[in-house]
């Protein structure tokens, strides 16, 4: 090869290296900006995963939590639409109970992403899906914590996720009854996540979380994720009155075979003048709050 041509090739190669380095630097800087430019905002996304539950939380400092994982790979796809494209990690995964519509997608999440911690109860299921979830926890080597009422997970300054139920070992319990119920608080805004907890657990939580000074239940929340996908087995009149939410979320699949949300629950929301948003109708529903103001958007 002539020396002049070799020099041109080398020069072009060096130009491409420099351009590539600049692109990588820009991506890295952009990534840092995505992480830091949050204006003190907490994001909570109720993911559209069909007939199931999956909730993505991102604190102002970038800490990330996934509560439940739907039935299958829909959860990974839904996460890809709310997380930064370069992000392949979660700080915490919480499985409220072992039913397939809450844990079916978690094996894929654990196998594809780096997970630091997992929160479950002692309640298990003799299904292949739940066994796969347990196997992936072992492979991941994530820290395992058993949920108990009163435990508080600090996600950021002023951002607290508190476990309200269960308050004991729930091995052998009916799976829905064993659901983890948790409240996320930031400033004056809060979110109540109920898994599939039935009305008997709602009543018990009310009795255990009364503010003695004011006489009002401490689970009062801005946003309520309706229990059991809007089934009549959850969301009693007493519970809805105690939570007194500004918004209700129904995580369910379109034209699902269970008829969720049930008419009784829809009528009760209307009676209390509580606006509701359904993932079946609106896709993923995202709330953004700075602790004082709150806004909501949806995919459709």
Q: What is the CATH number of the domain that holds 79?
A: 3.60.15.10
Burial of 158 (0-12, 13-18, 19+ CB in 10 A): middle
* 69 and 5 fall within a common domain: no
pLDDT of residue 300: 72
- What mean pLDDT, rounded, does the chain reach? 88
Percent of the chain with pLDDT over 90: 80
**Confidence band for 2, pLDDT divided at 50, 70 and 90:** very low
Whole-number pLDDT of residue 8: 43
- Same domain for 92 and 116, yes or no, is yes
Residues 3 and 113 in one domain: no
Per-residue DSSP letter, 127: S
Q: Return the pLDDT at 217.
A: 61
The pLDDT, as a whole number, for residue 206 is 92
Q: What's the sign of the alpha-carbon dihedral 282, 286, 291, 294?
A: negative
Average pLDDT over residues 52-66: 97
- Containing domain of residue 66, as a range? 38-298
Q: Are residues 74 and 123 in the same domain?
A: yes
- Examine the domain organization and report whether 144 and 227 are in the same domain: yes
Q: What does the DSSP assignment read for 156-203?
A: ETTEEEEEEE--S--TTS-TTTT--EEEEEETTEEEEE-TT--HHHHH
| pLDDT at res. 195 | 97
Total domain count, the chain: 2
Residue 167 class from Cβ within 10 Å (0-12 exposed, 13-18 middle, 19+ buried)? middle
Same domain assignment for residues 162 and 219: yes
Do 26 and 131 belong together in one domain?
Answer: no
Could you tell me if 165 and 176 are in contact, meaning their C-beta atoms sit under 8 angstroms apart? no
The answer on 235 and 134 residing in a single domain is yes
Same domain, 3 and 108: no
pLDDT confidence of residue 216: 54
CA dihedral sign of residues 99, 296, 44, 148: negative
* 245 in the same domain as 189: yes
Pair (283, 237) in one structural domain: yes
- 139 and 20 fall within a common domain: no
Question: Which tokens belong to 122?
Answer: 């002692």
């Amino acid at each position: 090869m002539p020396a002049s041509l070799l020099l041109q090739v080398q020069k072009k190669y060096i130009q491409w290296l420099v351009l590539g380095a600049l692109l990588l630097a820009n991506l890295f800087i952009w990534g840092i900006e995505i992480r830091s430019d949050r204006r003190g905002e907490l994001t909570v996304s109720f993911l559209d995963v069909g007939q199931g539950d999956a909730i993505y939380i991102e604190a102002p400092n970038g800490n990330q939590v996934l509560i439940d994982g739907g039935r299958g790979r829909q959860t990974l796809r839904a996460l890809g639409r709310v997380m930064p494209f370069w992000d392949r990690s979660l700080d915490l995964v919480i499985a409220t109970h072992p039913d397939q519509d809450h844990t079916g997608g978690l094996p894929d999440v654990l196998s594809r992403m780096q997970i630091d911690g997992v929160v479950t109860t002692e309640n298990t299921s003799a299904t292949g899906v739940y066994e796969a979830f347990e196997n992936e926890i072992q492979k991941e080597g994530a820290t395992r914590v058993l949920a108990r009422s009163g435990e508080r997970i600090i996600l950021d300054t002023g951002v607290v996720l508190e476990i309200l139920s269960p308050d004991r070992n729930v091995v052998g319990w009916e799976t829905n009854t064993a659901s983890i119920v948790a409240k996320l608080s930031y400033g004056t805004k809060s979110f109540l996540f109920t898994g599939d907890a039935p009305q008997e657990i709602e009543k018990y939580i009310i009795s255990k979380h009364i503010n003695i000074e004011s006489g009002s239940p401490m689970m009062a929340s801005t946003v309520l994720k309706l229990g059991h996908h809007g089934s009549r087995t959850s969301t009693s009149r007493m519970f809805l009155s105690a939570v007194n939410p500004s918004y209700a979320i129904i995580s369910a699949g379109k034209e699902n075979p269970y008829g969720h949300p049930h008419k009784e629950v829809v009528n009760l929301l209307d009676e209390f003048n509580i606006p509701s948003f359904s993932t079946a109708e609106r896709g993923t529903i995202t709330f953004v709050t700075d602790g004082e103001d709150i806004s909501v958007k949806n995919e459709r």
